[in-house]
Amino acid sequence: MHDALMAALSTVNDPELHRDLVSLGMIERAEVTGGVAQIKVNLTTPACPLKGQIEREVREAALTVPGVSEAVVTFGATVRMAAQPALPGVKHVLLVGSGKGGVGKSSVAVNLAASLAADGARVGLLDADVYGPSVAHMLGQGAARVTANAERKMQPIEAFGMKFISMANLSPAGQALVWRGPMLHSAVQQFVKDAAWGELDYLIVDLPPGTGDVQLSLTQTVQVTGAVIVTTPQDVALIDAARAIDMFRKASVPVLGVVENMSYFVAPDTGNVYDLFGRGGSRKLGEGYPLLGEVPIDMDVRQDGDAGIPAVLAHPDTPAARALIGVARNLAGQVSVLAVNKELAQSLADLPDQLTVV
């Protein structure tokens, strides 16, 4: 009956990867006892955005097997790597950038990291905006200090189930940094390579605005899986976001998607929707790139950030938090698609140059 069950499960495709679960190696267990099928699916990310659809289709497929009257579907998750580890123990480095400041990039980065961690992923967050670090404040850790471990590596601070490092935790409060390019490059290398990040599925990097030295240093220092572009619908922000996309293209960093922040405002008293900065501009910007989500203006996001707790944890049912959770899961899905496609490309490249047909 095991073979019949596996044959039935081979008809179920991962909705994002467009290949069946069996050939993807995602069926960890498939057993039938007393008419009950016990199936464990090993997802490619704990933040799978289509887990419910997969569960439903697996159950329906199992129930087509003669002798199966009930199907119990459980899940595990193993994040796959797109190539060699970006860093020892780190599967994916994901850059969060923008063409200009003031678009809410850091708020998006913090909430993406918190959402992925809440879904069960192992997450690190690097605040690479050395001139304007805000991650520590948004995580309620502004007074914490980064220390060194026994191997003389920087020990990231832990908050809300994730690890993070920020210049705010290394320099005196309120002190301005006046650094030239070489010093920035050295600092970025230390944050990335001289920190004890441990085993991570995702290292989220909050970049400074623009297309400067930090971005260049990171793309030259580590193997980057991809980048996320944060913008508002406003034309001036979209123009600069296009420049950021072009920068990543020139650096051979895949753009995994676009986030339209401050997309609209819903009046709490009437429910009317107002497009304060325009609407839908990022869809045009993102032609060829997935739109990961549209995040509305929400006072809770600002208040929670000031209070030191990510909005996706403090108020997960608000429209903005739901949108941010959706963005995080869509991003995880894009990373999985990229990783599996590279696995397939590598396996094809490893085939003999010539096959003998008998």
DSSP string, 18-64: -SBTTTTT-EEEEEEETTEEEEEEEES-TT-TTHHHHHHHHHHHHTT
106 is in an annotated binding site: yes
What the block records as the tokens of 149 is: 């471990």
Which of 55, 77, 99 corresponds to the end of one domain?
Answer: 77
Q: Do the domain assignments include residue 15?
A: yes
Q: Are residues 58 and 131 located together in one domain of the fold?
A: no
Element (H, E) at 164: strand 162-166
Q: Do the domain assignments include residue 213?
A: yes
Q: Are residues 150 and 278 located together in one domain of the fold?
A: yes
Task: Please tell me the distance from the alpha carbon of residue 145 to that of residue 289, in angstroms, as a whole number.
Answer: 38
Q: Are residues 100 and 229 located together in one domain of the fold?
A: yes
Q: Are residues 99 and 67 located together in one domain of the fold?
A: no
Q: What is the pLDDT of residue 85?
A: 74
Q: What is the pLDDT of residue 143?
A: 87
Q: Taking phi first (over 0 means left), then psi (-120 to 50 degrees means alpha), and beta for anything else, what does residue 310 get?
A: beta
Q: Taking phi first (over 0 means left), then psi (-120 to 50 degrees means alpha), and beta for anything else, what does residue 18 get?
A: left
Q: Do the domain assignments include residue 33?
A: yes
- The one-letter amino acid code at 236 reads V
231 with 99: CB under 8 angstroms? yes
Q: Are residues 32 and 98 located together in one domain of the fold?
A: no
Chunked in runs of 10, what are the mean pLDDT values of the chain (358 residues)? 94 94 95 96 94 96 96 95 80 92 94 98 94 91 88 93 91 66 77 91 93 83 92 88 90 93 89 83 73 93 95 96 97 93 70 52
Q: Are residues 42 and 157 located together in one domain of the fold?
A: no
Q: Are residues 67 and 96 located together in one domain of the fold?
A: no
Query: In terms of C-beta density within 10 A (0-12 exposed, 13-18 middle, 19 or more buried), how is residue 257 classed?
Result: buried
What the block records as the tokens of 122 is: 């192992």
* Boundaries of domain holding 45: 2-77
Q: What is the pLDDT of residue 210?
A: 80
Full-model pTM: 0.90
> What's the start-to-end Cα distance of the chain, in Å?
33
Other residues' Cβ atoms within 10 Å of the Cβ of residue 194: 12
83 with 213: CB under 8 angstroms? no
Which of 32, 56, 77 corresponds to the end of one domain?
Answer: 77
102 is in an annotated binding site: yes
Domain at 153, CATH number: 3.40.50.300
Could you give the number of structural domains in the chain?
2
Domain at 73, CATH number: 3.30.300.130
Task: Please tell me the distance from the alpha carbon of residue 198 to that of residue 157, in angstroms, as a whole number.
Answer: 12
How many residues are given for the chain?
358
Q: Do the domain assignments include residue 42?
A: yes
Q: Do the domain assignments include residue 350?
A: no
Using CA atoms in the order 278, 293, 229, 162, what is the torsion angle rounded to 10 degrees?
130
Q: Are residues 31 and 141 located together in one domain of the fold?
A: no
Task: Please tell me the distance from the alpha carbon of residue 299 to that of residue 311, in angstroms, as a whole number.
Answer: 10
What the block records as the tokens of 238 is: 């979209």
Task: Please tell me the distance from the alpha carbon of residue 328 to that of residue 322, in angstroms, as a whole number.
Answer: 10
Q: Do the domain assignments include residue 36?
A: yes
What the block records as the tokens of 275 is: 């497009």
100 is in an annotated binding site: yes
Distances (CA, A) of 350 to 25, 82, 166, 347, 354: 19, 16, 41, 5, 11
Q: Do the domain assignments include residue 349?
A: no
Q: Do the domain assignments include residue 110?
A: yes
Q: Are residues 142 and 41 located together in one domain of the fold?
A: no
181 is in an annotated binding site: no
Task: Please tell me the distance from the alpha carbon of residue 213 to that of residue 218, in angstroms, as a whole number.
Answer: 9
Buried b (16+ CB within 10 A) or exposed e, 273-291: eeeebbeebbeebbeebbb
Task: Please tell me the distance from the alpha carbon of residue 240 to that of residue 232, in angstroms, as a whole number.
Answer: 10
193 is in an annotated binding site: no
171 is in an annotated binding site: no
135 with 206: CB under 8 angstroms? yes
Q: What is the pLDDT of residue 278?
A: 78
Q: Are residues 185 and 211 located together in one domain of the fold?
A: yes
Q: Are residues 217 and 167 located together in one domain of the fold?
A: yes
Q: Are residues 324 and 276 located together in one domain of the fold?
A: yes
Task: Please tell me the distance from the alpha carbon of residue 128 to that of residue 166, in angstroms, as a whole number.
Answer: 7
Which of 54, 77, 100 corresponds to the end of one domain?
Answer: 77
